[in-house]
A and B are shown apart, each in its own frame.
Chain A
Amino acid sequence: MKKIISRITWGGLLYALAALPLHAQDKKEKGTLRLEVAYDQKNDDLPVIRVVARAKVKKKFKPVAGVAVNVFLDHENAEGFLGQVETRADGTNHVPLTPAAAKYWRDHHHFTFIAAVTNNENYEDASAQIDISKARIELLVNEKDSTRTLTAKVLAHNDTAWVPVPGAEVKFVAKRYFSDLPVGGNAVATDDQGLATADYKLTLPGDAEGKIFVAAKLDENETYGTIQTTVPVKWGTPVPPDHLFAQRTLWATRDKTPLWLLIFPNLIIVTVWGFIFYLVYLIVKIRNLGKTTS
């Protein structure tokens, strides 16, 4: 009897120990999420709203993937709902404007974008918002006596007209494959006319005609968000296009098979199949011999 009681006691103890982490897991505390919302607009097109989610891991905020973020325009309700996105591995994702929101954006000049996370399994509710005034950049390119300059004019809408924005930090860049290459050093502040100018002194490879793209941008401006205007210029070094696909190469289409690959394998194929047809001929000959003899 003592043995049975002892076994039940030990069994119960082990079960309690095993169950302990499960209960501990049930009561797991939710993490704190830091949300950011940004406004990106290029070439007077419709803007996209960028959200970033970060959470504290080992005392550092790191990007979090898989967090569903709701994005709103002006009102955090069904009317202002722009969409829901799930953050990617780098913690970011984008929301385009819905057709209704696009119309609203065209008709208005001051907006509030709100990003919110609610009822997440792992994180407490979080939200962030950004107030934006509509602005645009006009980019002028000039080439005189081998001096090339870029002039940006930053304009903001004051509910009645577009007016110049003084003191805005404009960055001038050349567009490359993976990032923007700064033109003329640091950002340039606009003057009272809303103008900022930079000299272009780079030597960059362009397309066959030497075409490259240069841009002027306000980078995460507190009032206007990120705004960028890009224009093509023939300031690059012309690079003749690589027409290897049009030549006889291993990666070309079937009508451009390299000659050596056409000649030698086909010689082998014809020789081998020539022998095979000869063997079939031998079968016919053997049959005919048999028929003649019999």
Chain B
Amino acid sequence: MRAINKILLYIVLLGGATIFVVPMLWMLSTAVKPIDQAMSSPPQWMPYEWIWQNNDEELSVGVAEMPEDVQADTPVQIDTAYQWRVVLDDEPVPVSINEPISTSSDTLASITANYHLYANIDGQWLLAKAENPESLLTSSEPVSIVVMDKEGYTFRKTVSPDDIKRTFDLTQDDVRISFGETLQLEVSPDKLNKHYVKWDDRQELAHVLVESHTVEAGTLTKSISPRWQNFPKAITAMGHFGDYLRNTLVLCVLTVIGTVISSTLVAYGFSRINWPGRDKVFVFVLATMMIPGPVLMVPLFTMFKTFGWIGTLKPLWIPTFFAGAFNVFLLRQFFKTIPKDLSDSARIDGCNELRIFWQIVVPLAKPAITVVALFQFMATWNDFLGPLIYLTDQNDFTLALGLQFFQSQHGGTQWHYLMAASALVVLPIIVLFFLAQRTFIEGISMTGLKG
């Protein structure tokens, strides 16, 4: 009977633990998958890659379906991705072929390459567009072109041809940039070079074609391969990740400093100095915790608008320099456990109050102060509503708001990048937890002290 109970207990606890841990693992798993594996049914836990051993060459290929009971010589259909490349301006450039050609024939192949013009304006290479781009590079007269600056404004400028260069587009994103030009050429088929690309890259590189082959299963190997590059790509896709991170860290540092300084001072005033009416005022402080945030939302917005703080980080950190009731409560509980005699004898020795605060109470209260600092850091890192209300410019967003902004723009398509971006927001907190596990659990228990 006891044994059965114990087994039942383990089943319930482990089952529950599995349910609790799966969502996080699924986020991490999706974060390191290519998109076709992220959006596959049935779901796969491990990101993998198919490698096709083609003579001496190893190629990353797509395998839609692996037959069951596969033998080394079982025929399997695979997909490979490749580009036609032509050397232009001394670089191999992906091109599209306008008509089907046979590489053996002598007829010239008609091809198209995409490129952009850049003009050197005061030492900066800016996007440019010309009426007759192809004659531009061979002309020697100054030409009039349209230039687009970094902010997207266009203007007309006359420049020398030496200050104009063309850059061929290698990726789909390059092709999509405005002011795109196409170059039509006729080349001899032997100038065309068939270049295989990684299966993952087929949607990102320019002019990629896919072809199917039937190969022997023995030439294929499946290996586990996490796509770590999803993280830098997600950061790029988010747009202002660097700004988001910087703003979040700036806010975390400022709010932690503000909260720790102000809350310890106020908690000291409510616990270590005996002044008339102190405990009644403290009950009032506790009562203010009952006020729900939404009640203050509109007037605070109006007030910060009058101060000119909307669209800046100020509404998110300046108020923390004025002690929150909850933190004061936590610290006061702790300060009260420090023996009174310590302060009293220091006073007799002529110590002033600030020195007692700084040299006796604060060092002894380090565990509680750590809890307050940790909780404030987390609260700032996680805060969404505050940034949502007060921040207007994407450069000022925090990570939490930036992540939501990214999702609202690319949600439902780039799940692998969304999960990678989410992991970047979530993982620092998880790491912090493992570094300060004891502080966390103590802190949670402290919040329930009053009961």
- A and B: real partners? no
- Spell out B's residues near A (CB within 8 Å): none
Q: Could you list which residues of chain A lie within 8 angstroms of chain B, going by C-beta atoms?
A: none
